[in-house]
Amino acid sequence: MPEWKKSRIEIGILGLGVVGSGTVDLLQRQRAEIERKIGIPFHIKRIAVRNIDKVRAVKVDRSLLTNNAYDVLNDPDIDILCELIGGVEPAKEYVLHAMKRGMQVVTANKEMIAKEGNDLMTLARQKNLDFQFEGSVAGGIPIIQPMKNALGGNRIDEVMGIINGTTNYILTRMSQEHADFGDTLREAQARGYAEEDPTNDIEGYDAQYKIAILSSIAFTSRINVNDVHVEGITHITKADITYAEELGYTVKLVGIGRRMADGRLQVRVHPTLLPQTHPLASTNNVYNAILIKGDSVGDVMFYGRGAGSGPTGSAVVGDIMDVCRNLTHGSTGRIHCTCYDDSAVMPMDEVETRHYLRMTVQDKPGALASIAYALGACDISIEVVVQKAAQDGHAEIVWITHEAPNSKVREAKETIVRLPEVISFDNWLRVEGLYRE
């Protein structure tokens, strides 16, 4: 075993925003306990920030701060780099630079991992370096390390989760208060649960990055994030929430990775009707939950706060501690990227699910029969249908179908919207799990 000759481990940090502040706060508050657990002192050597004069959520010695990232990256004393600035560039450039200089790397950057993880992990392996990213998915919930270690002996056939706290908060409030999407989004922003520009969350991109990462690990195959089907929640209305509840479902934005019998993978993010008896259905507000199905362990669910300064900082510190132990025992680079397969991702049009369809029609005889005929002509059978009279001679019809490919529903929709009885095709959502009366 290579001898560790330094008396302490030096840490450099890029970024002191939400995650950086939580990380530094925890390292400072729990310094004595952390050092006891890792068996060696540590020291924060330098922190790069955009604005040195900005008021911080955590108190740090001003002499540690620099507005030049390369003051951290080129410091020969730094052993571990924590990249906590987010985004793809310049974050990827910084991480590659650090690795080439022999630094171990810890990050919470989901977008960089999802889009550029292969390049980074390849270099880490070549250099025999640690590259840890527990904080990139589900905040403080331990999920990356358990999948790679404790569950590593399992063949994982499904990973399914509520992995975005902002959208889960919005959908929870819409359900509890029967409120409109716009009002609930503004409430989430006022409470600090949604960004001023909430696009990444409400359009599903944040969850897209995370399910790409989880699926890559679960199925040992690199997932191109562009192959992950993604839909957001902006088209969900209180009418959809109400109908779902009446039918025994809850609407959630769900990320799904599933191994199919032919070896292909389903990897998708979209609003989903889950039976109220489903393990994920009771995950509310800003909480996240991830359900994993292993061939030996069965169903395992991880639950907790999926974002925020403290929870994500907790994940980052856990990675730092793991790297410290590896450094002092000469065992860095123990767990390399395990994406050694090349499994194809199934196009969304070929994915078969049950479907929720809501439409407004003229309230007259034959309307329901015309739509049912159009569905039947596309080999789509009906499980549940609900019709309610509305104002001005209109009626709302909601259908829950049996399993059918997305392509067939799309084909049926093209016919239905042209029917003279149909005023509008209002929504189309997928349904997971078994219907429970």
Distance, in Å, from the CA atom of 49 to the CA atom of 82, rounded to the nearest integer, reads: 13
Distance, in Å, from the CA atom of 18 to the CA atom of 86, rounded to the nearest integer, reads: 11
Instruction: End-to-end CA distance of the chain: give it in Å, rounded.
Output: 62
Can you list the alpha helix ranges (DSSP code H) found in 30-162?
Answer: 31-38, 69-73, 91-100, 110-127, 144-148
Distance, in Å, from the CA atom of 158 to the CA atom of 156, rounded to the nearest integer, reads: 6
Region for residue 192 given its phi and psi (left: phi exceeds 0; alpha: psi -120 to 50; beta: otherwise): left
Q: Which stretch of DSSP H or E encloses residue 362? A: strand 352-362
**206 within 8 A of 164, measured Cβ to Cβ:** yes
Active site residue 37: no
Distance, in Å, from the CA atom of 316 to the CA atom of 306, rounded to the nearest integer, reads: 13
Amino acid, single-letter form, for residue 437:
E
Q: What's the number of CA atoms in the CB half-sphere (13 Å) around residue 433?
A: 21
Amino acid, single-letter form, for residue 316:
V
Can you list the alpha helix ranges (DSSP code H) found in 43-90?
Answer: 69-73
Q: What's the number of CA atoms in the CB half-sphere (13 Å) around residue 47?
A: 22
User: How many Å is the Cα radius of gyration of the chain?
Assistant: 24
Q: Determine the 3-state secondary structure of 415 from DSSP.
A: helix
Catalytic entry in 110, 210, 252, 408:
210
- Of residues 297, 215, 202, the one with CA closest to residue 255: 215
- Of residues 330, 280, 304, 312, the one with CA closest to residue 109: 312
**254 within 8 A of 204, measured Cβ to Cβ:** no
- Report DSSP state, residue 285: T
**142 within 8 A of 115, measured Cβ to Cβ:** no
Question: Could you give the residue numbers annotated as active site?
Answer: 210
